[in-house]
Amino acid sequence: MPKKRSTPKPGPARHAIILAGGSGTRLWPLSRNLFPKQLLALNGELTLLQQTVRRVLTAFEPQNVWVVTNEEHVFEVRSQLRSLDPALDARVLAEPLARNTLPAILLAMDRIAPQGADLAGEGGEPLVAVFPSDHLLEDLDGFRGSLDQAMGLAERGLFVTFGVVPRKPETGYGYIARGKKLEEGGYEVESFIEKPKLEKAVEFLKSGRHYWNSGVFVFRSREFLSAVARFTPKLWSWWSGRAEAPLTSGYGALPNLSVDYGIAEKIEDIAVVEARFDWDDLGNWEAIYRLGKKDAAGNVIQGDVLAMDCRDCLLISKGGKLAVVGLTGMIMIQTRDATLTCPLTDVQRVKEVVALLKSQGSQLVESHLTVKRPWGSYSVLEEGPHYKIKRIEVSSGARLSLQMHHHRSEHWVVVSGTALVEIGGEERLLVENQAVDIGKATTHRLANPGKVPLEIIEIQSGPYLEEDDIVRFDDVYGRVKHENS
């Protein structure tokens, strides 16, 4: 009689953390602070975030995937993930404000290694992989193979990162210098190098022992948390004290610290696995051009563009007709409120443009004319010193917060759908072509009780018309009182 098979011992649980809180300023004017590059569809129908989540789900169970984003983006992130799998809505965690990658990882680690949990578990300590949300990876088999190799090294107690074989002397990436080969596969990490000058990048390319830093990290929970306690005592004090106070309550006082600088560059037992897949961080417009589908003249064209006698150009219009004549090796990115033009060789300087606009107090770095909200969206149609005109769309069944403004009055006209309007505690229904006025310091709320989207035109008037003139009294989305509508 054959011997009864024993049930194999389960391996350690595998968890994935996807970091979706970056701003992507090098892809301005499409990428803005309130709608950064990971939320954009730059190379197909899916956004970069959706592509990342779909790829991660080929190697991790949905209940073991966590997406950390900024509080300002959390509703859009949830919306994008719901379109992939409704269960992912509950896997989104919100940072109160940006504090770089290490605090963001610790937010997710609170779910992976909750207070008082036994990290040993039945199959061993949990293994965790951290992924950026805005990178392009080709070859799923290569991705899973590299991940399995990294997980095997992490299970032995190593902190592991992915290194990408450089294709050119890139000055926009950090680098990893590899040391001796490990018996288990991979290499020891000799050092991390910040974004180099061109001369150094050329040396790195020739050396054959330098990789681009992919920003992917794999580790065992206990080693990671021990490194946090050892190298970043302030973060450890905050994280380990979460039984007394929620993690979000002390977030603003945390240091702005990346996992690279806070841990990876200091830890001793760290290895690099050579990536078996094509990788690009889509970090600037040159990358979008290089990876885009080109016409016979070498142009990458998206949107309503008329190109005459142009060669090797990236031409994108997201608002209005873009007519271009006689350009070579240029980019033109047009939105409804901003246009960027520069040679393809100067795309790294877009960050300088954004920095200058920010120093001037320009709203062009913050948001587009159309801004998405958990209840729908609004678009700024026109504005002047004492007025602003918006088109507001409210989704079926959604409602805005109960709010008031100190400095502006508003006039609403229903264009389509049915509006349930509350003003000063009294409710009334409005249909197409009906209007209502809301005075300064008057509480009001707008809701859509119908089955089709509600569209209204809002005319604001007053001496101050910015979005921070909002005092909230009740909000179904849990937002703070002083915040964009």
CATH of residue 131's domain is 3.90.550.10
Domain co-membership, 273 together with 332: no
Domain co-membership, 314 together with 375: no
Domain co-membership, 218 together with 327: no
Mean pLDDT of 262-288: 91
Confirm whether 165 is domain-assigned. Answer: yes
The predicted pLDDT at position 71 comes to 85
Domain co-membership, 268 together with 299: no
Mean pLDDT of 201-219: 93
Confirm whether 315 is domain-assigned. Answer: yes
Q: Is the pLDDT of residue 26 over 60?
A: yes
Domain co-membership, 274 together with 333: no
User: What is the reported pTM?
Assistant: 0.85
**Which band of pLDDT confidence, cut at 50, 70 and 90, is reported for residue 117?**
low
Domain co-membership, 337 together with 380: no
**Which band of pLDDT confidence, cut at 50, 70 and 90, is reported for residue 281?**
confident
Domain co-membership, 294 together with 268: no
Domain co-membership, 36 together with 144: yes
Domain co-membership, 134 together with 240: yes
The predicted pLDDT at position 367 comes to 86
Domain co-membership, 263 together with 397: no
| Domain end (from 230, 250, 280) | 280
Q: Is the pLDDT of residue 483 over 50?
A: no
Q: Do the Cβ atoms of 105 and 17 come closer than 8 Å?
A: yes
Domain co-membership, 275 together with 309: no
Q: Is the pLDDT of residue 170 over 70?
A: yes
Range name among 7-21, 25-39, 202-216 with the lowest pLDDT average = 7-21
Confirm whether 114 is domain-assigned. Answer: yes
Q: Is the pLDDT of residue 2 over 60?
A: no
Confirm whether 223 is domain-assigned. Answer: yes
For strand 409-416 and strand 454-461, is the pairing parallel, antiparallel, or unpaired?
Answer: antiparallel
Q: Is the pLDDT of residue 454 over 70?
A: yes
Q: Is the pLDDT of residue 354 over 60?
A: yes
| Domain end (from 280, 305, 326) | 280
Mean pLDDT of 267-277: 93
Confirm whether 8 is domain-assigned. Answer: no
Confirm whether 420 is domain-assigned. Answer: yes
Domain co-membership, 261 together with 289: no
Confirm whether 299 is domain-assigned. Answer: yes
Q: Helix or strand or coil: residue 210?
A: strand
Which structural domain range is residue 110 located in? Answer: 14-280
Confirm whether 230 is domain-assigned. Answer: yes
The predicted pLDDT at position 120 comes to 52
| Domain end (from 264, 280, 296) | 280
**Which band of pLDDT confidence, cut at 50, 70 and 90, is reported for residue 420?**
very high
**Number of domains composing the chain:** 3
